[in-house]
Every structure is written in C-alpha cells, then in structure tokens.
Structure 1
Amino acid sequence: MCHNCSAAAAAAAAAAPAPSRRSVARLLAAGAGLTALAACTPDAGTRPPSSSSPSAMSASTSQTATPSTAAPATSTAATEPGAAATPTPTSAPTPASPAAGLPQQHSLTDPASPWLVVNKHRPLSPADYVPADLVQPSVALAVSGEAAQLNSTTAAAAEQMFAAAAQDGVTMTLASGYRSYGTQVATYNGYVAARGQAEADTASARPGFSEHQTGWAFDIGDGGGACGFQPCFAEQPAAVWAKANGHRFGFVVRYPWMLHEITGYYYESWHLRFIGVEAATDMSAKGIATLEEYFGLEAAPGYL
C-alpha cells in the first residue's frame, strides 16, 4: 500500500505523473488484467512535522466485536492473475451482527487495538494518532526513518514471519511501514495539486484514513525490486509465500483480489495487516477475505 517513503522519492513521485486508479480501472473493465493501485502511495513533497504525540492521544468510544462465523457474503469467483477466467467485480457485503467466535474481543475503533478497522467510512480517532510504541524491527529493510518502524506487536510478529520465509528460501523486505499523519498530509496534498481531489481519492488515502498510520500495517518487497508495488508482484515468491503463510503469524492481505467494492482499494498483494494469529487463522479457515466481512461491517468503496 505504500512505496518508498523517503522525501526524495516522494518529491519525484509527486512530480512525475503515474497511472491513475481511474485509468487502470478502465483496463480492468476492458479485460486487460489485474489492477492494483496503492491505498497509500509515495510521499509527495516535504513531510510537515506531525502535530501529534503519544500524550495527545484521546480515548474514543470503543466498538468491540467477535468475528462472524458465517461464510463471506460476496462471491470470490474472480480468478487471480495467471488463470483463464475473466475477473468480474463482486458485490458489497450485507452488514451482519458478528456471531460468536473467538473468546477474545478487541475494539474495532481504538487505534491501539489489533482489530481496528480503518477504511473510507472509518477514519482514525484521533485523526493525528501516533502509536506509543514505534520500533524498528530486526528485518531486512528497503526504507529508513519512520517508514522503517512498526508498533512493537507488529514488529515482533514481522520478525518471526520474515525469519520463517527466509528458512523457506524466500527473501522478504520491509518496503514501507509507519507513516505519520503529517506525511500523509503531504502525500495526499501532492496528489490533489497534481490531479485534483476526485482523482487523488483514487490513488491516495486521505490523512487520518491510512492503515500505515496505525503501525499495524506494512508493505513487503522481495529485496530485488522486482515488480515492487505493481500488479505482477502478486506472482513474486515473497507475495505468494505471505499470502499462503501470513496468517500463521497474525497477518492478512488487507486488500484482496477483486474486493475493492468492499475495501475501497484495488488488490495490493504487498500490503499486510496484523490482526493476531487467532483471528487471521480463523479468517483463513473460514475463507473470509476482508476485515469488513469478518467483523460484520458495511462495505466502504468510497468516502462518505
């Protein structure tokens, strides 16, 4: 969901026009193949200082849930890249009250909760939230600075996952981690200035709506830059391994194939989200692909 978050790369990304989500969507409609655009994108311009600090975090009313035990409400018949079937968009899920599931319950609104759900209908509260426990995990890094950080829980799980991938002969790098509210302001404003707000909303999360700001999410690479943040990354060993094994370490692919009408973002095989081993394994066992469906929440294809 992110690209290189350094200021230099960000400036270049904002200056050089990139394919918009709208134009790629047209390719999907024409049967051109997989579309995958970033819900969070390269920094555009210099990052302003964030106005938040751990002490500034405000407590919000917590919404808790137990995961749904029902099968997904949407069709996932669309075939992923490499298969012969023609992808067709799925319909949005019908919200349902979460059924009894895992014994442990977490808030769906508290930014410090591993079950937090952030999407285009559910902004962070407070909007300028900063995790209190940001650390740099001991993994191979493709970035530096804040982008090389995660919250401590996610960092520990990432270290275990990266080590397991290496044992299986798969190289995996941290390509983009934490992104502050200030960085997202610069990123989003760069897109608005270059393309207008309507098109910016198809390529970049608005400030306060990005999972990267929580410390619970990060993007992976393969160490060699092959297909980085591109549709073809889904076929690279790092993405294939993470999709098949991520749940063992508490991770899910947050923006799955052809479920953008639910999540609000096109397929991002590189964007992993920590929700805990129990929940991630439960989702995998039940064949539920999105957090919205798992927790019985409404689809969020666009901002309200």
Structure 2
Amino acid sequence: MCHNCAVIGEAVRAAATTPSRRSVARLLAVGAGLTALSACTPDAGTRPTPSSSTTSSPAASPTAATSPASAETSASTSPAAETASAPTPTAAATPTSPAAGLARQHSLTDPASPWLVVNKHRPLSPADYVPADLVQPNVPLAVSGEAAQLNSTTAAAAEQMFAAAARDGVAMTLASGYRSYGTQTATYNSYVASRGQAEADTASARPGYSEHQSGWAFDIGDGGGACGFQPCFADQPAAVWAKANAHRFGFVVRYPWMFHPITGYYYESWHLRYVGVEAATDMANRGIATLEEYFGLEAAPGYL
C-alpha cells in the first residue's frame, strides 16, 4: 500500500519540471526506509522495520532539520541517492595501520578479543560462539533474558558509561545486548520467509555474522523510549551524548553514517561496539570512522 502517494506525486512533478539537485534528492528521499541495511535486528516480529538517515557530511549527525521526516532535506537510503546529495566513501577501505604508536595488541579473529572484526566477509569462528563470561550489567534495561547480557568487560565499561551519561542528565537504556546463534538464526529465517533472502540480507545479519553474538556490542535506547531503532534516534539525547563521549569508555559507533560501502550496514546511531579506551580514543582523535579502515581490512559491503 502506498502511504505517501501525494508526496511521491509532488516529488515526481518537481523532478520533472525542475531537474535541480534538490528536486532529485527529494524524489529519491521518498523511498527512504523501504529497505535499509541493519545489523541490529533483535526481533523481526516486534522491531520497527529498519531504515537509515543521512546528512551531508560523514562527520555530522542528522538533526531535526535533516531527519527523514522531511523529504526536502533528507537523502534516500539508496547508494544512488546518497551519491546525489554528498560524497560517499569508496567501496574499498583504505588500508590504515592501527595507529602511530598503538601497536597491534589483540587478535582480529578471536571472538574473545576486543579487537575482533565481524562483518559480511568475516564471520565468527566458531559460528556458534558463546562468550564464557556473560553477565547482566547494572544499567537501566529495556530488555530481559539473554538480550540483557554482555561479556564481562563490555558490561563493566557500559556501567561506567551509563553512569557518566546519567551525571550529565542523559537517560540511556540497554535496548539489545547479547544475541545467541539460535536467536539470530530464528530472526534471520523469519526475514527470509517473509521477504526472501535477498531482502533479508539487507535487514538482518546472517547467523554467525552478528556482533551481538560476540558479547562486545549492544544497542542503546533513550530513557524516554523515543525513536528506538529508527533514524530519528540520532537526534535523541542518548545518541548525541554517546557519539560525543562513548570513546572515553572504549566504545565506537560501529556503523557510522555514510560508510555502508565499507561496513555493509547503513547508519545505526544506537549500535555501540567495545574496542577498548585506547583504540576508541585513537580512532576518535584520528578521525577514523570504521574498524575496517582502522585495522587496514577490506571493505565488506556484501556477503562473499
């Protein structure tokens, strides 16, 4: 069913009569949210359909003026639309040494390593890995059961970060933590059954390819519950605070805006990944947005 027919018609007429950059971007923006890449699909039956938001600079966060609610100022989730509105990273990550002065300290393949890199080219090994030290952190929870757990290192860092956010007047919740291989299998298969595999691969990580299974990653929510797993979450206090401060506690926003040609996933302002204070701070100081670039790994826009 077309829920935005009037907007579509207006955008088409505008593009046809005035082929400006704005009208083209407006036309493309109408399709925003139809399909979006997402690594954070905790429950295919209850979670809103993922979509993405963009602005005009990889360093910028969407604001209320540039949220997908405005087709005039928001670009589409498609690579073509983002190209029309702003430059995008190349499809191949530029090899980068871990850092000047920051020697390789941890494995990139061991799932028990804080520097583990999981993406569409690099599955967990073993595929059914279970962290040996899962615990429930002492933070405000929006979930229960396994989804309220993290590995012990990530949990301790999360407690410090949530407490710091609270001192700054920002309410933050744990919206989705650990996800077992079995849970990810059920989630992914439900997408395949309802949408087909090609579309499922744009909305849910395949079993064994999710950072959530490692225990090193989790999704945050805003204390008021606003915009959970939606593009507008980027404008909520929890997301704004985390983007500016998470590195101080060892976290990075794993899927930053406009870097889907490298990470394989569109912007997820809610998905934080623990890599350690030293590495996260080094990435922030050097302006390196993705783990693929930081560790000199190839881009992983799609499954091999």
> 1:296 is matched with which residue?
296
> 2:250 is matched with which residue?
250
Q: Residues 93-242 of structure 1 correspond to what in structure 2 (within 5 A)?
A: 93-96=92-95, 98=97, 100-103=100-103, 105-242=105-242
1:183 counterpart SS class? helix
Give me the whole-angstrom Cα distance separating, in 2, the residues matched to 1:269 and 1:123. 23
Deviation at 1:79, TM superposition (A): 5.0
Q: Which amino acid aligns with 2:186?
A: A
Give me the whole-angstrom Cα distance separating, in 2, the residues matched to 1:33 and 1:269. 20
1:131 counterpart SS class? coil
Give me the whole-angstrom Cα distance separating, in 2, the residues matched to 1:240 and 1:87. 22
Give me the whole-angstrom Cα distance separating, in 2, the residues matched to 1:300 and 1:115. 17
Q: Is the 1:38–1:229 contact (alpha carbons within 8 Å) kept by the matching residues of 2?
A: no
Deviation at 1:78, TM superposition (A): 7.5
Q: Residues 43-82 of structure 1 correspond to what in structure 2 (within 5 A)?
A: 43-44=43-44, 79-82=60-63
Q: Which has the larger radius of gyration?
A: 2
Give me the whole-angstrom Cα distance separating, in 2, the residues matched to 1:34 and 1:81. 14
Moved more, 133-142 or 36-45: 36-45
2:240 counterpart SS class? helix
> 1:19 is matched with which residue?
none
Deviation at 1:37, TM superposition (A): 4.7
Give me the whole-angstrom Cα distance separating, in 2, the residues matched to 1:172 and 1:224. 8
Q: Is the 2:93–2:292 contact (alpha carbons within 8 Å) kept by the matching residues of 1?
A: no
1:174 counterpart SS class? strand
Give me the whole-angstrom Cα distance separating, in 2, the residues matched to 1:132 and 1:96. 32
Deviation per residue, 1:247-273 (Å, 9 max, x gap): 000000000001001000000000000
Deviation at 1:274, TM superposition (A): 0.2
> 1:271 is matched with which residue?
271
Q: Is the 1:137–1:149 contact (alpha carbons within 8 Å) kept by the matching residues of 2?
A: yes
Deviation per residue, 1:143-187 (Å, 9 max, x gap): 000000000000000000000000000000000000000000000
Structure 1 residue ranges (4+ consecutive) displaced by more than 4 angstroms after TM superposition: 26-29, 32-37, 75-79
> 1:30 is matched with which residue?
28
Identity of aligned residues (%): 80
Deviation at 1:94, TM superposition (A): 4.2
1:178 counterpart SS class? coil
Q: Is the 1:121–1:303 contact (alpha carbons within 8 Å) kept by the matching residues of 2?
A: yes
TM-score (norm 2): 0.77
TM-score (norm 1): 0.77
Give me the whole-angstrom Cα distance separating, in 2, the residues matched to 1:197 and 1:212. 21
CA distance change for structure 1 residues 77 and 192 in 2, over 3 Å: closer, same or farther? closer
Deviation at 1:81, TM superposition (A): 1.9
Q: How many residues align?
A: 250
Q: Which amino acid aligns with 1:105?
A: Q
> 2:50 is matched with which residue?
none
CA distance change for structure 1 residues 127 and 29 in 2, over 3 Å: closer, same or farther? farther
Deviation at 1:91, TM superposition (A): 1.4
Give me the whole-angstrom Cα distance separating, in 2, the residues matched to 1:271 and 1:28. 28
> 2:82 is matched with which residue?
none
1:285 counterpart SS class? helix
> 1:42 is matched with which residue?
42
Q: Which structure 1 residue ranges, 5 or more long, are not aligned?
A: 1-25, 46-74
Q: Which structure 2 residue ranges, 5 or more long, are not aligned?
A: 1-23, 46-55, 67-72, 75-84
Deviation per residue, 1:210-261 (Å, 9 max, x gap): 0000000000001222000000000000000000000000000000001001
Give me the whole-angstrom Cα distance separating, in 2, the residues matched to 1:188 and 1:27. 32
Deviation at 1:44, TM superposition (A): 4.3
Q: Is the 1:34–1:231 contact (alpha carbons within 8 Å) kept by the matching residues of 2?
A: no
Deviation per residue, 1:64-83 (Å, 9 max, x gap): xxxxxxxxxxx955754236
Q: Is the 1:92–1:261 contact (alpha carbons within 8 Å) kept by the matching residues of 2?
A: yes
Q: Is the 2:254–2:273 contact (alpha carbons within 8 Å) kept by the matching residues of 1?
A: yes
